[in-house]
């Protein structure tokens, strides 16, 4: 602008007079126009600045509202976060409480498991001990039956029960004891034993026949001789003839036959009377004892009691008492009962056979089994 306001009459000395001056005239004409535009430009600038200021104010207001809204959202979020944090803390506390309870339960469960394992070990140990005690008791009973009563069947049953108990326990260390028990059972089964059941049935049959046994004094020797003579007397057979043959037979033959028949009858009657006069009696035994009716019932009851005692001794495998009762029963039969009767003689023969029966035999000891059992007890 300082260049425009210079005096046009002042020209630089170096300028040439021939240089044209036409270009400086439009510039000079634009100066007044420019002077008139300055207020407008200033107003425009003010308006622009006002508009910018107003726009900036609106922008700041919007920014303020946005910031306030954001702050509100952040506040709500922080409240929710605090609530969530509080809920999380409550949840964590409840979980910690549950975890502590679970820890306590785990500790209790471990303690119970330890106690149960200890109890199981004690129980298994005590069950093994109890099983061995039962086996030992069975072996002791078998030995007592063999040594005291000679009851081989009861000893076999006791040993078999001990073997079944060992089999139920199922332990390898008990196999030697089982082998020894099996050997003892086989040895006992191989022993020659009497037919106890058969003899018991025979004695039972004898008990039923006691009431029907005939007594010796009821059949005297005279009656026996008379019966024998009647049985020994020959009987003449009578021949049956038809009526036609009898009519045709001569009269003399019929009379001779009748006379011969009468003589035979007379001889038979004479022999019968003579046989009653002569008595044949055995001298190797005394006369039969005469008993009153009341004593007869006592005699039969005594015989029945002897047979019952013999059967009881037989079932108990008591050989000495069995032989004694059988001998006494046989002596009663031979002394007071009719030994000629078939029923009595068969009973005497059966009793004599029972006397020779061996109820008690030499049994093998259970020493090996008892030694193995002692070793197991010491190991236990």
Q: Which of 75-89, 135-149, 175-189, 261-275 has the lowest mean pLDDT?
A: 261-275
Neighbours of 14 (CB within 10 A): 5
Could you tell me the residue ranges of all domains in the chain? 46-193+367-380, 196-233+264-355
Are 189 and 159 a contacting pair, CB within 8 Å? no
What tens digit of pLDDT does each residue of 100-139 get?
888 888 888 888 888 888 777 666 666 677 888 888 888 8
d(CA 38, CA 34): 7
pLDDT at residue 17 greater than cutoff 50: no
Q: What is the DSSP string of 329-354?
A: HHHHHHHHB-TTSHHHHHHHHHHHHH
pLDDT at 67: 86
Phi/psi for 215 (5° steps) reads -85, 160
Judge residue 116's burial from the number of C-beta atoms within 10 Å of its C-beta, 0-12 exposed, 13-18 middle, 19 or more buried: exposed
pLDDT at residue 163 greater than cutoff 70: yes
pLDDT at 278: 56
CA angle 258, 265, 259 (to 5 degrees): 20
**What is the crossing angle of helices 24-144 and 152-169, to 10°?**
170
| Confidence band for 222, pLDDT divided at 50, 70 and 90 | very low
* Entry pTM: 0.40
Looking from the CA of 327 toward its CB, the CA atoms found within 13 Å total 9
pLDDT at 308: 92
pLDDT at 122: 66
Would you call 122 helix, strand, or coil by DSSP?
helix
| Confidence band for 251, pLDDT divided at 50, 70 and 90 | low
* Largest CA-CA distance found in the chain, in angstroms, rounded: 244
pLDDT at 114: 83
Q: Which of 229-243, 318-332, 338-352, 362-376 has the lowest mean pLDDT?
A: 229-243
């Amino acid at each position: 602008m300082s260049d425009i306001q210079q005096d046009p009459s002042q020209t630089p000395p170096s300028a040439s007079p021939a240089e044209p001056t036409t270009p400086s005239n439009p510039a000079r004409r634009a100066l007044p126009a420019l002077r008139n535009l300055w207020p407008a430009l200033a107003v425009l600038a003010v308006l622009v600045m006002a508009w910018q200021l107003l726009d900036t104010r609106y922008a700041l207001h919007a920014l303020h509202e946005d910031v306030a809204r954001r702050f509100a959202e952040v506040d709500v979020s922080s409240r929710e976060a605090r609530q969530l944090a509080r809920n999380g803390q409550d949840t964590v506390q409840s979980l910690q409480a549950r975890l502590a309870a679970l820890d306590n339960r785990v500790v209790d469960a471990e303690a119970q498991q330890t106690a149960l394992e200890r109890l199981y070990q004690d129980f298994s140990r005590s069950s093994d001990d109890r099983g061995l005690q039962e086996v030992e008791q069975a072996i002791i009973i078998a030995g007592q039956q063999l040594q005291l009563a000679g009851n081989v069947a009861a000893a076999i049953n006791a040993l078999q029960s001990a073997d079944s108990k060992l089999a139920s326990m199922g332990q390898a260390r008990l196999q030697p004891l089982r082998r020894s028990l099996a050997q003892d059972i086989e040895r006992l089964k191989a022993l020659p034993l009497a037919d106890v059941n058969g003899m018991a049935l025979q004695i039972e049959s004898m008990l039923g026949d006691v009431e029907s046994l005939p007594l010796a004094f009821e059949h005297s020797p005279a009656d026996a001789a008379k019966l024998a003579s009647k049985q020994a007397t020959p009987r003449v057979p009578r021949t049956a003839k038809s009526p036609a043959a009898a009519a045709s037979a001569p009269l003399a033959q019929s009379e001779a036959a009748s006379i011969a028949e009468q003589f035979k009858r007379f001889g038979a009657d004479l022999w019968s009377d003579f046989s009653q006069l002569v008595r044949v009696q055995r001298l190797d035994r005394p006369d039969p004892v005469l008993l009153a009716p009341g004593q007869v019932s006592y005699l039969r009851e005594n015989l029945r009691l002897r047979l019952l005692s013999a059967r009881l001794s037989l079932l108990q495998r008591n050989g000495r008492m069995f032989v004694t009762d059988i001998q006494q029963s046989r002596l009663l039969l031979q002394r007071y009962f009719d030994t000629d009767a078939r029923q009595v003689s068969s009973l005497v023969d059966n009793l004599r056979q029972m006397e020779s029966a061996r109820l008690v035999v030499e049994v093998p000891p259970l020493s090996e089994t008892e030694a193995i059992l002692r070793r197991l007890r010491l190991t236990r």
